[in-house]
Amino acid sequence: MTEPEFHKLLQRYLSGQCTAEEKVLVEHWYDQLEQAEGQEVRAQHQADVEQAIWARLMTHRLPATPEPRVVVLWPAPLRWAAALALLAVSIGLLLLATTRLPAPARLTAVASANGWIRQTNPTRQVQHLLLPDSSHISLHPGSSLRYRTALAGPRREVYLEGEAFFQVSKNPKRPFLVFTKQVLTTVLGTSFRVKAYAGGQQASVAVQEGKVAVQAREGAQLEASPAHPAAQGVLLLPNQQVVYSAARRRLQKELVDRPVVLVPQSFEFEARPVAEVLGALEKAYGVAIIYDKAKLANCTVSITFYDEPLFEKLGLLCKSLGAYYTLSDADILIHSEGCQSQLGS
């Protein structure tokens, strides 16, 4: 296989267009590279991973220039024996090269007599699971998910130990409930992440899209939903998360560590009112930014944002205004005395 052919094979693998045999072969290469490096490599840039695999494969190739050979003239019977031995070795190598490689480890499923299924991820990579209701689950290493066969019942109930990302198929008539030891999360159909490892003192739920209702597991109201959250629960929107502390038995709502753009906006401002800049940030990230409108009413700023994370954008804006920001639950508070120290960027 040439290097261009090798890269084309990896591209087919990443786009889901390779054959079953090619898929097993590529995943075997990944596993071998991870074992050599002693760490997870799939999260690196694709080009770096491809080059690392190709370099490792090249170490097993014959040298470009053959070593000098010593020719020995054997008697005819010995030459026939050597030829037969060489033929046997060649056939053995051919069979070895064409033998199907063992498939990498996958989720292990255990069904119980009372109609429950437990899916466990014993591998070092995130594994993907399709539930009977067409919901997609990305189960992290060392995590397990338990649910009734066919998700039977008026509610779609699953029990998680560890971490998983959920993409739940929408069904308003059958809420989807994720139980962990600490919290209960209820959705009708959306994307979110739950992290609650066994023995951990905290559990967290972060929302990517839609609405999610979260409440403490102890005394939870099973009928609660995003449309009618529990009185002691928390309603989460995109870019928001809740952290439950077992020690304090309290749900703390906050912004995720790295909010993503939900509604793309233009971030080029030339002598524009500060209120306009803050409004664009609010709309882009779906966040609430609270500030003293009277103090910033006559302030303008020239600033351009690129691909900086939200909190870096806020830092740059505050620096240009001589202000600073703090976080309160899922809100952003801007503290400013006005435009006296405005420098413009």
CA nearest neighbour of 121 among 183, 164, 168: 164
Amino acid occupying residue 273: P
The token duo for 200 is 């951990």
pLDDT tens digits for range 286-330: 999 999 999 999 899 999 999 999 999 999 999 999 999 999 999
Question: With bands split at pLDDT 50, 70 and 90, how would you rate the model's confidence at 72?
Answer: very low
Find tokens 């006296």 and name the residue: 340
Using the predicted structure, report yes or no on whether residue 116 has a pLDDT greater than 70. yes
Confidence class for position 73, pLDDT limits 50, 70, 90: very low
Round to whole Å and give the CA distance between 321 and 306. Answer: 19
Count CA atoms within 13 Å of residue 113 on its CB side.
0
Q: How confident is the model at residue 29 (pLDDT cuts 50, 70, 90)?
A: low
Q: What is the pLDDT of residue 317?
A: 96
Q: Looking at per-residue confidence, does 331 or 49 come out higher? A: 331
The one-character DSSP state at 232 is: T
Q: C-alpha angle with apex 119: 118 to 122, nearest 5 degrees?
A: 130
Q: What are phi and psi of 36, to 5 degrees?
A: -70, -40
Give the CA distances from residue 82 to residues 90, 177, 211, in Å, rounded to whole numbers and listed in that order: 12, 70, 74
Q: Are 189 and 210 in contact (CB under 8 A)?
A: yes
SS3 category, 57? helix
CATH classification of 268-335 is 3.55.50.30, yes or no? yes
Q: State residue 74's pLDDT score.
A: 44
Say whether pLDDT at 209 is over 90: yes
Instruction: Please report, rounded to a whole number, the percentage of residues in the chain having pLDDT higher than 90.
Output: 59
- Residue 215 contacts residue 232 (beta carbons within 8 Å): yes
Q: Where in the chain is the domain with CATH 3.55.50.30?
A: 268-335
Q: Which residue has the tokens 């039977």?
A: 152
Q: Does 86 score more than 80 pLDDT?
A: no
Query: Which residue type does 96 have?
Result: L
CA atoms within 13 A on the CB side of 120: 7
Cite the beta strand spans of 103-175 per DSSP E: 108-111, 116-120, 127-130, 136-139, 144-148, 156-167
pLDDT band, residue 214 (cuts 50/70/90) = very high
> What is the reported pLDDT for 248?
85
Residues 106, 112, 118, 123: is their CA dihedral positive or negative?
negative
Cβ atoms of residues 306 and 267 within 8 Å = yes
Q: Report the chain's mean pLDDT, rounded to a whole number.
A: 81
Whether residue 45 is predicted with pLDDT greater than 50 in this model: the reply is: no
**273/57 Cα distance (integer angstroms):** 58
Closest C-alpha to 140, from 27, 282, 238, 43: 43
Task: Report pLDDT for 299.
Answer: 93
Averaged pLDDT for residues 64-71: 41
Q: What is the pLDDT of residues 120-149, one digit of tens each?
A: 999 999 999 999 999 999 999 999 999 998
Q: Which of 311, 209, 313 is nearest to 259 (CA)?
A: 311
CA-CA distance, 79 to 82, in Å (whole number)? 5
CB 257 within 8 Å of CB 239: no
Side chain identity, residue 300:
T
DSSP state of 33: H
> pLDDT value at position 87?
45
- For the chain, residues classed under CATH 2.60.120.1440 are 108-255
Of 70 and 211, the one with more pLDDT? 211
Between 244 and 20, the higher pLDDT residue: 244
Lowest-pLDDT range of 22-26, 221-225, 277-281, 295-299: 22-26
Domain range 108-255, its CATH number among 1.10.3720.10, 3.40.470.10, 3.40.50.880, 2.60.120.1440: 2.60.120.1440
